Structure 1
Amino acid sequence: MKLHWSGEEEDARAARQAAAERAELATHTSGEPLTIGNEFSEIRVSRVETRNGSRLLIESPKSGQWVALCPLELEAITWQNTTTFSAMIGKPFGPLLPEDDQ
């Protein structure tokens, strides 16, 4: 007997799409990736070239999570305070704010 859940096919489709997008980004890596970590986490950072300019590809090898950020999104990180980061860490693997379903 195989267990199924509501939304299983949508989850699988989204995972396949994200994996394909990440693989495409990785083919455009510029230079060597940088890996940093401590006792809590490890991340790999790569510069990737896209048709809209350079992005920073940030990956968590342990969780498989990743994000590609443009220069403005990276700058926005510098505008945050420690409360923002604490809130992000306190709610792992999900967005800090809900997405609009429009």
Structure 2
Amino acid sequence: MDTPAHEPYIERPDIGSEACYPEGPGTDGPVIIANEFADVVIRKVETRNGMRLEIWSPRRGSRVLLDAVALDCLSFQEPGFITEMLARRPAP
């Protein structure tokens, strides 16, 4: 069966002209994921201790570097745990 190929839908959220997304040698990305509540910039970075996934929140000005073990741990969490994390109010 031939089905017509569809153009991918790409969201281009209004992130403002002041946002500066980090780029540098030895990195992949960035990948920007956003909706009306949050936006994050994700990229793979090489550190002295190996490859990490960097998650950066331009709105909050915070970032975290996660290694493969931390990412693996996130992958087997129950949905309720993630819901609890979302219910917490982040520190200013």
TM-score, normalised on structure 2?
A: 0.67
Q: Describe the superposition over 1:44-86 as per-residue Cα deviations: whole angstroms up to 9, x where unpaired.
A: 0011101111000001110111100001100111111111111
What value does the CA root-mean-square deviation take over the aligned residues?
A: 1.7
Which of the pair is proportionally richer in helix? 1
Equivalences for 1:19-98 in 2 at 5 Å? Answer: 29-93=26-90
Give the length in aligned residue pairs. 69
- Matched-pair identity in %: 32
Whole-angstrom CA distance in 2 between matches of 1:83 and 1:59 = 24
Structure 1: 5+ residue stretches without partners = 1-25, 95-102
Structure 2: 5+ residue stretches without partners = 1-22
Provide the residue aligned with 1:13 in structure 2: none
TM-score, normalised on structure 1?
A: 0.61
